[in-house]
């Protein structure tokens, strides 16, 4: 089976969690027998591709060579996706990982932390009252949509566009790389002087709600470590990062970008008492999975699919309410780090397992597509 993983190059430049999901899915699939995988970045304006390992562009017609074209995350531009769909093979499968979540709470947090994004609130209500009905949506061009959880499927069915009958839906959980042996022995980074602290992992983005967390916890004596920096190539993220730093107490530590899976990365997560993301939603974030794998108690937002992964081992926060942030973090702090029995209940899926599940859904989708093509023959 020949598979093309496709990522919008703007997403790749930002380097956030959806880019990590694309990279890890591609890497794990390359370990499977009988599967050949190429990872392409697509320029949605110029309709050109280039392999992630190369600098030269190739025509989008190259996609005719592949049985499966899988966009991670989903490409939403109708014209760009139509170009991809037009140049794939006649019998190939067009797949997307939507990484989708939509709710009023999610949009309100984004708007609160970034005043320039207030139009997202209008768009939410415009969609609800039908002002945008009848517009063509890119999701209808896909053959198969792969979500990270059942909760994400429900959110899509409730808030997403209606789909034609032929679009199939599957669920493939988010994965985690097996932790190397040294991860459990890394020392606390030198920037962190406190023996017990809260770690807030992730890039600085309005939806991650670092500012809301800082304001909610302003009277708390706890030490907070922010693991991550502004999104590369994003002026809005840089402004948000600067605002968070200016608002935070002096005792808070901003470590900035830390290389993924470095000793500093593991050390900051491993020695934390609590890992918190009071964000607008998590489906869930890879950083929370990695923190839990190291025994750190997780605080995750109610919005999203964290409950399916962490169950009763985590605490769940309403990010719209400062009192909920304070009370939930304090409760997680009192519970302390995860016990071995609690860690055993958490759903941590290795990427190789994710790759196998994904390929199985490809095969089922290709079979369904062949059957559908036969039915349409005169």
Query: Is 326 part of any domain?
Result: yes
Tell me, yes or no, whether 167 and 224 share the same domain: no
Tell me, yes or no, whether 204 and 220 share the same domain: yes
Tell me, yes or no, whether 67 and 15 share the same domain: yes
Q: Which domain holds residue 251?
A: 181-346
Query: Is 231 part of any domain?
Result: yes
DSSP, residue by residue, 176-221: EPPPPGGGGGPPPPTT---SS-EEEES-B-GGG-HHHHHHHTTT--
Q: Which DSSP symbol is given to 228? A: B
Low-confidence ranges of the chain (pLDDT < 50): 129-135, 375-378
Query: Is 260 part of any domain?
Result: yes
Q: How many residues does the chain have?
A: 378
Tell me, yes or no, whether 251 and 205 share the same domain: yes
Query: Is 274 part of any domain?
Result: yes
Contact 148, 173 (CB under 8 A): yes
Which strands sit side by side in the sheet containing 198-201, from one edge to the other?
253-256, 224-227, 198-201, 274-276, 297-301, 315-317
Query: Is 89 part of any domain?
Result: yes
In this structure, the number of other CB atoms found within 10 A of the CB of residue 94 comes to 22
**pTM given for the model:** 0.89
* pLDDT at residue 373 in the model: 59
* pLDDT at residue 281 in the model: 93
Q: Tens of pLDDT along 304-360?
A: 999 999 999 999 999 999 999 999 999 999 999 999 999 999 999 999 999 999 999
From 153, 15, 12, select the one nearest 71 (Cα to Cα): 12
Tell me, yes or no, whether 163 and 228 share the same domain: no
Tell me, yes or no, whether 280 and 226 share the same domain: yes
- CATH number of residue 323's parent domain: 3.40.50.2000
Tell me, yes or no, whether 231 and 371 share the same domain: no
Query: Is 114 part of any domain?
Result: no
Tell me, yes or no, whether 157 and 193 share the same domain: no
Contact 171, 147 (CB under 8 A): yes
Tell me, yes or no, whether 215 and 167 share the same domain: no
- CATH number of residue 79's parent domain: 3.40.50
Contact 277, 200 (CB under 8 A): yes
Tell me, yes or no, whether 356 and 340 share the same domain: no
From 96, 98, 95, 8, select the one nearest 52 (Cα to Cα): 8
Tell me, yes or no, whether 85 and 190 share the same domain: no
**Number of folded domains that form the chain:** 2
* pLDDT at residue 3 in the model: 97
* pLDDT at residue 151 in the model: 95
Query: Is 308 part of any domain?
Result: yes
Tell me, yes or no, whether 168 and 260 share the same domain: no
Query: Is 123 part of any domain?
Result: no
């Amino acid at each position: 089976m020949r598979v093309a993983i496709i990522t919008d190059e703007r997403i790749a430049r930002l380097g956030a969690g959806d880019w990590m999901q694309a990279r890890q899915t591609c890497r794990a699939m390359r370990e499977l027998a009988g599967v050949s995988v190429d990872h392409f970045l697509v320029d949605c304006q110029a309709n050109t591709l280039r392999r992630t390992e190369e600098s030269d562009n190739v025509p989008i017609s190259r996609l005719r060579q592949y049985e499966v074209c899988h966009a991670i995350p989903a490409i939403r531009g109708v014209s760009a996706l139509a170009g991809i769909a037009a140049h794939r093979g006649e019998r190939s499968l067009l797949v997307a990982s939507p990484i989708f979540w939509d709710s009023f709470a999610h949009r309100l947090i984004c708007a609160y932390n970034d005043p320039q994004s207030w139009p997202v609130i209008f768009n939410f209500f415009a969609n609800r009252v039908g002002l945008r009905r009848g517009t063509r949506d890119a999701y209808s061009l896909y053959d198969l949509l792969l979500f990270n959880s059942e909760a994400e499927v429900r959110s899509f069915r409730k808030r997403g566009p209606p789909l034609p009958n032929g679009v199939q839906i599957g669920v493939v959980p988010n994965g985690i790389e097996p932790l190397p042996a040294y991860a459990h022995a890394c020392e606390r980074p030198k920037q962190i002087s406190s023996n017990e602290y809260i770690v807030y992992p992730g890039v600085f983005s309005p939806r991650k709600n670092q500012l809301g967390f800082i304001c909610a916890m302003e009277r708390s004596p706890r030490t907070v470590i922010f693991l991550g920096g502004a999104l590369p190539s994003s002026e809005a993220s840089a402004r948000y990062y600067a605002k968070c730093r200016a608002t935070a107490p002096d005792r808070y530590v901003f470590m900035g970008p830390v290389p993924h899976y470095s000793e500093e990365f593991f050390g900051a997560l491993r020695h934390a008492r609590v890992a918190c993301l009071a964000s607008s939603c998590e489906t869930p974030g890879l950083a929370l999975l990695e923190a839990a794998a190291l025994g750190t108690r997780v605080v995750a937002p109610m919005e999203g699919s964290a409950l399916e992964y962490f169950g009763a081992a985590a605490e769940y926060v309403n990010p719209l309410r400062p009192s909920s942030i304070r009370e939930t973090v304090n409760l997680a702090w009192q519970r302390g780090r995860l016990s071995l029995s609690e860690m055993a209940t958490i759903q941590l899926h290795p990427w190789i397992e994710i790759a196998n599940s994904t390929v199985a859904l490809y095969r089922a989708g290709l079979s369904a597509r062949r059957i559908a093509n036969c039915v349409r023959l005169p």
